[in-house]
Structure 1
Amino acid sequence: MKTDTPRPILLKDYRPPDFLIDKVDLTIALHPTRTRVDARLSLRRNPAAESADVPLRLDGEHLELSRIALGGKELHAESYIVDEKGLTVKAAPNDPFTLELTTYINPDANTALQGIYRSRGVYCSQCEAEGFRRITYFLDRPDVLSVYSVRLEADAGECPVLLANGNPLERGTLAGGDRHYTVWKDPHPKPCYLFAVVGGDLSSIASTFTTKSKREVDLRIYV
């Protein structure tokens, strides 16, 4: 049950983000109590920012940080700060760069129902308004638009259906045969509060739809 009183955000206090995230690549290995999230963020400084040469500050709550690398190089502990509200990278480059993060989350213990949680054996997500920060460290604000590529992995018997935003590109079985994966790509830039994933034993109703250009597309409603 949520007990926190939301902090009001006023228009008069708005300031542009210091950084932008153009592309997000996620691999989410679903597990009831220890879900692993590998994130690769493509960042650049915002030319409209009020300040230059500031550290990179990312939002993050209830995350266990396991790995952090900037430009492919592991960061030493003195290069960043983790606190209960987020992550600060002290010396972020002025040129575009990539940040790789590995975090662990606990869907079963997520009673706030923000981020990724598990309900009746189904993995669900709720990122509006500020839930994405419970999945990985991020600029969790509506004026940062990114394109997303997501690889979901899960136990094939527990979660035969793996869904995310965008279009399914690839499916397969992992080594050992007990787990499988699905890759989704959303080519349209979106704020992180629109991000969604679902994994579970779901039923579906299927049909097709023909567009004005005579292209036939599949339609599925999952319950």
Structure 2
Amino acid sequence: MTRINEKIRAPKVRVVMHTGEQLGVMSVREAVEKAKSIGLDLVEVAATVSPPVCRIVDYGKYKYEQSKLKKKKAKTMTRIKEIKVRVGTDTHDYNIKLARAEKFLYEGSKVRVRLQFRGRENAHREIGFEVVKQVAVDLAGIAVVDQQARLAGRAINMMLSPLPKEQRQRKYFLSHGSLIENDDDDSELPDDEDDVQDDAPQAQE
């Protein structure tokens, strides 16, 4: 919650004018009087520093600009989805997973490909790497490898990023899209209940 005027709790604050001019450190009372004398508000913009930093601005305009910045930031966020593949996954299920990955990539999300080794599979990790790398080959029409396949514990992870929008070409989604209408519904793959995971947004660089 943004504090303004008399609601600012610190006894002293560092004041900056809306023009960028530094007025220095002064009491909140003095700063509020200064702001009101020119028809503006004292707005706390950095509460965690000592003393807190406040700006003398039009609070209504300030809120509007902050709202615009928040929306702009949200638009530059990229979601990270995840699909899981396995050593020995049959062709039908493999194609469904690729269709799901294509859907996410086509919508602009990054996709983490994860292969978890089970039991004796751990002794043949090279096969797991071949499976994960094949995913990158099969999705080359819509994605590029952002992070190469690498081992993390008993799993291999690889990150894919979507190609520019005008270059994205779907292949598996065209034939299997009807099976993945619900992003997080894996009822068609009952043995892989957590086939899709949705991480927090990641800002684009």
Confirm or deny a common fold (TM above 0.5): no
The TM-score, its normalising length taken from structure 2, stands at 0.29
Larger radius of gyration: 2
Larger helix percent: 2
TM-score, length of structure 1 as denominator length: 0.27
Structure whose residues are more often strand by fraction: 1
